[in-house]
């Protein structure tokens, strides 16, 4: 819940600052961190490898997209 509230706050800051790309990058980084934490939690709860791999890939894609937005 904390990460989601931070993401919403960053999107509001983006609108207030004339769509500054910095805050959008932070939202994607926070989403990536959220997926990575979910993957660790799934691993500790012994869920299927398919679920763990999906969450790791989605987290990596969000972080990669945030890095691409930097350029």
E strands, 1-71, are: none
Reply yes or no on whether the pLDDT at 3 is more than 70.
yes
CB atoms within 10 A of CB 71: 4
* Confidence (pTM): 0.77
Per-residue pLDDT reduced to its tens digit, 39-68 = 999 999 998 999 999 999 999 999 999 999
N-to-C CA span, the chain: 30
């Amino acid at each position: 819940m904390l990460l989601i509230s931070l993401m919403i706050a960053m999107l509001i800051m983006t609108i207030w600052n004339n769509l500054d790309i910095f805050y959008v990058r932070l939202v994607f980084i926070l989403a990536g961190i959220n997926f990575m934490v979910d993957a660790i939690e799934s691993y500790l709860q012994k869920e299927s490898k398919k679920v763990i791999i999906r969450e790791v890939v989605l987290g990596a894609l969000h972080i990669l997209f945030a890095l691409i937005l930097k350029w």
